[in-house]
Chains A and B, each alone.
Chain A
Amino acid sequence: MLVAIYAVFVYVPTERVMGIVQRIFYFHVPSAWVAFLAFFVTFVASIGYLGKRSRRWDVLAASSAELGVVFAMLVLLTGPLWARPVWNTWWTWDPRLTTTLILWLIYAGYFMLRTAIDDPQRRARYSAVLGIVGFIDVPIVFMAIRWWRTIHPVLLTSEGFELEPPMVATLLISLLAFTLLYAYLFVLRVRVEETKDRLESLRSDFETWECGDMETPG
């Protein structure tokens, strides 16, 4: 991450037309990439859950979805900060922006669903279905700038990145840094769920043991 920060603020030249504000791009695009990656992991883990009905898959899916929501939120917050000086507007109902907002809302709904259902197996099953269906929006977000008329810049074309080599290098470094950050946060988040499971199991053992103790005469 330090290398990425160095590249963004020191190494890469300032974009000719947009000036310094273009540097938002080097963390905006990786945030979007990580959000896509996180939702993909949720998608795979949700399929895994429906196939195996194992709590482990549900933990992986929910942990990754939470990270996806956080990174998608960063995309939605940093985008307008770039758009205001460049497009002269904070928000426009452009296909790319709209589908990204829908993606965020789908996965925000995923957590509302999880909160609303008490039965762990039913919760895992329903959220696995939403985790799979919700992922359909990811390729739509990616392709929105190719399928519809949009003012959002197209970064990756069939001829590669439409950027100067130092900008491509900085972007790739940032992508790597954000992917590693995602991996670290994912491990952290899964560990919380594992501890929660251990606690639940111990609590249940403890309750059984206490009940047994009470039933023991004398």
Chain B
Amino acid sequence: VFVALILATAACGGSSTVPAAGEGPVIPPPPNATVVSAPFLSGETRTRLSDQLQVPAYVDDLSLYSTPASLADIEAFYKKEMASRQWEAGPTLPSVSADQPLMLFFKKGQNSAQIKAMASPFKPSETLVYTVVVKVEELRNLPFLIAAYFIIWIVMFGYIFFVARRQRALEHELEELRGRRMG
């Protein structure tokens, strides 16, 4: 029933339209940026920086830049640039500490974009900007959802079953003892 529900949810509410290669939207680099090679952001190798930037595992297009521009300039630049490219703006989370990046969210069709910026831990005068595009595929990671709900219900029903069985066994024993006493 739950698998059917999950599949129905994905079928009704979701879409798996993914732009063909080369047709995907492009996020412009920040002003005066240089591209940073970022092997530490990919695969299983996660570093403190990738954790700080909160890089999800399933991104489709990812770029990392270094720029002398300030966080405020970067925020203003992307708000203007993305609007001119018909991206709908989502929430903006300000950078509240050195560990917390500035986060900007945008949506366009079936794509969502995240832009995160924080002071570079390597060169404090620079700002690291990471841009990412995620193509919405609602069925992506479906097995994880099925597994989670399967485990929840197995554990719940299993627990109820064992408690009820324990109760029945005790009641049976109680009745038997009462019967022996009466007899």
Shortest Cβ distance from residue A152 to the other chain B in the assembled complex, whole angstroms: 10
Q: Please tell me if the beta carbons of A89 and B155 are within 8 angstroms of each other in the complex.
A: no
Q: A27 and B148 in contact (CB under 8 A), knowing A19-B141, A86-B56?
A: yes
CB-defined interface of A130-152 with B at 8 Å, one 1/0 digit per residue? 00000000000000000001010
CA of A189 to CA of B159 in the docked complex: distance in angstroms? 10
Cα–Cα distance between A134 and B53 once the two chains are bound (Å): 34
Q: Residue on B with the closest CB to A164?
A: B91
Would A14 and B151 count as touching, CB distance under 8 A?
no
Binding site for A on B (CB under 8 A): 5-6, 8-10, 12-14, 43-44, 46, 51-52, 54, 56-58, 90, 99, 105, 107, 112, 114, 134, 136-142, 144-145, 147-149, 151-152, 155-156, 159-160, 163-164, 166-167, 170-171, 173-174, 177-178, 180-181
Q: How far is the CA of A151 from the CA of B56 in the complex (A)?
A: 11
Contact A199 B159 (CB under 8 A): no
CB of B149, distance to nearest CB on chain A (Å): 7
B139 and A20 contact, CB distance less than 8 A: yes
A31 part of interface (Cβ distance < 8 Å): yes
Inside 8 A of B5's CB, which chain A residues have their CB? 5, 9-10
Please determine whether A17 and B114 come into contact, CB atoms closer than 8 angstroms: yes
Please choose the segment from A37-45, A70-78, A97-105, A116-124 that sits at the chain B interface, where 4 or more of its residues have CB less than 8 A away.
A70-78
Query: If A13-B13, A31-B152, A77-B151 touch, does A19 touch B137 (CB 8 Å cutoff)?
Result: yes
* Cβ of B55 to closest chain A Cβ, rounded Å: 8
Judging by beta carbons under 8 Å apart, are B99 and A149 in contact?
Answer: yes
Contact B142 A88 (CB under 8 A): no
29 A–B contacts, CB within 8 A, in A order: A5-B5, A9-B6, A9-B9, A14-B13, A14-B138, A17-B105, A17-B112, A19-B138, A20-B9, A20-B14, A20-B139, A21-B140, A21-B145, A70-B155, A78-B151, A84-B144, A85-B140, A86-B56, A87-B56, A87-B57, A88-B46, A185-B163, A188-B167, A189-B163, A192-B163, A192-B166, A199-B177, A202-B178, A202-B181
